[in-house]
Amino acid sequence: MLDYLIIGSGLAGIAFAETALQNRKTVLLVDNDSQNSSKIAGGLYNPVILKRFSEVWQAQEQLLLVDQFYSSLEEKLNIKIDFKIPILRKFFSIEEQNNWFAASDKVNVAPFLSLDLISKKYEGIDAPFGYGEVLQTGYVDTATLLANYKKYLIENQILLEETFDYAALENKNEFFQYKNIQAKHIIFAEGFGMHANPFFKDLPLDGTKGELFIIKAPELNLDVIINTSVFILPLGNHLFKVGATYNWKDKTSLPTEEGKSELLERINEILNCEFEIVEHFAGVRPTVRDRRPLVGTHPDYERIHILNGLGTRGVMLGPAMAKALHENIELGIPLDKEIDIVRFYKKG
């Protein structure tokens, strides 16, 4: 009998699977490859909300796990996916500089904001007011992670490549039966696909569509991530990932002319060099109205659980939320009230 049947193999599913495996549990993942938000994610981990120069919720705790989690995956899969690289926030005015230094006086933000104004000239970008450097940043190559983890799952025969059939799930009290599979617990980590899930479809999971480019810009010389109204992430060979848009109405994964125009407009505000679009892609991020993940156990089924709503910060949130859910199930450690799905269920 399996310890965990995990539905979904994006960032959330991988995070929980790996956490369970590290704790010597048995797992099987089910995925039909229908959700692509993890594949097209920017992959950045950044402890600061740069619009407001404020700290990301529980940033320090998440960053500690980010380092451990992705390092262990690199070793396990023999790949390089975690790239420590500074994020520079381009300033557009003296006022923005002042707001940055005012924010750096706040206790919870101070560890993440450099007090040194960066005035380095990057070919291809005009920045007369310089940059502020965010500390403890980088990005995870999510496409490489997902491809290699899927290969690992297949090699170890712990991936079922099919659409999960909710009607085939039988409650046997001590375990759940799914076709010929028995499992003590089921983890639903389906991303935006949760809307088809009869157990959790009433939870307020929204989707924000994001569109991104890969561009080629031979004149652009960057060894850092630039963040303004978009991020520009160097990939090597004059290629850069640029994103992202936020569309709350369109729930499709198809690139649009509207998204393309918006990205082009923002890029042209930053770059003063020639570039060409190499690739244009899109995905729907699983987001929640209160900006906190959906983690916890179904109110009527103690063996059915959810790990979802990682939104735009899946790379950072995934390891921490997977650890919290695993410890809740196995050790009875209470979940943080801000992430526990009980916040959405009326008390009877």
pLDDT digits (tens, 9 = 90+) for 56-81: 989 999 999 999 999 999 999 999 99
Residue 4, strand partner residues: 27, 185
Nearest in space to 11 (alpha carbons), one of 70, 84, 61, 67: 70
Burial class of residue 50, CB neighbours in 10 A (0-12, 13-18, 19+): middle
Are 26 and 2 in contact by the 8 Å Cβ rule? The answer is yes
Which tokens go with 235?
């990939």
Which tokens go with 216?
């080629």
Specify the residue for token string 């994006």: 10
**Domain residue ranges in the chain:** 2-41+143-204+290-344, 86-136+206-288
Angle between helices 142-155 and 59-77 (to 10 degrees): 50
Peptide bond into 183 cis (omega under 30): no
User: What phi and psi values does residue 286 have, to the nearest 5 degrees?
Assistant: -80, 105
- The helix or strand, by DSSP H or E, that contains position 125, with its residue range, turns out to be none
pLDDT of residue 35: 63
Q: Please give the Cα distance from 164 to 209 (Å, whole number).
A: 24
Specify the residue for token string 């502020």: 132
C-beta neighbour count of 321 within 10 angstroms: 30
pLDDT of residue 53: 86
The angle subtended at Cα 272 by Cα 270 and Cα 277, nearest 5°, is 80
C-beta neighbour count of 126 within 10 angstroms: 11
Which tokens go with 71?
């390092």
pLDDT of residue 324: 98
Q: 86-136+206-288: what fold?
A: D-Amino Acid Oxidase; Chain A, domain 2 (3.30.9)
Specify the residue for token string 């920045």: 127
The angle subtended at Cα 219 by Cα 213 and Cα 222, nearest 5°, is 70
The number of helices, as runs of H, and strands, as runs of E, in the chain is 6, 21
Q: Please give the Cα distance from 5 to 30 (Å, whole number).
A: 8
Which tokens go with 156?
């170890």
Distances (CA, A) of 339 to 293, 325, 343: 5, 10, 8
Q: Given strand 44-45, what is the order of strands in its sheet?
A: 44-45, 138-140, 82-84
Q: Please give the Cα distance from 289 to 305 (Å, whole number).
A: 20
Residue 82, strand partner residues: 140
pLDDT digits (tens, 9 = 90+) for 121-163: 999 999 999 999 999 999 999 999 999 999 999 999 999 999 9
pLDDT digits (tens, 9 = 90+) for 93-129: 999 999 999 999 998 899 999 999 999 999 999 999 9
pLDDT of residue 348: 41
Peptide bond into 244 cis (omega under 30): yes
User: Which residues in the chain come in under a pLDDT of 70?
Assistant: 34-40, 346-348
The CATH class of 2-41+143-204+290-344 is alpha beta
Q: Please give the Cα distance from 109 to 34 (Å, whole number).
A: 38
Q: Please give the Cα distance from 308 to 292 (Å, whole number).
A: 10
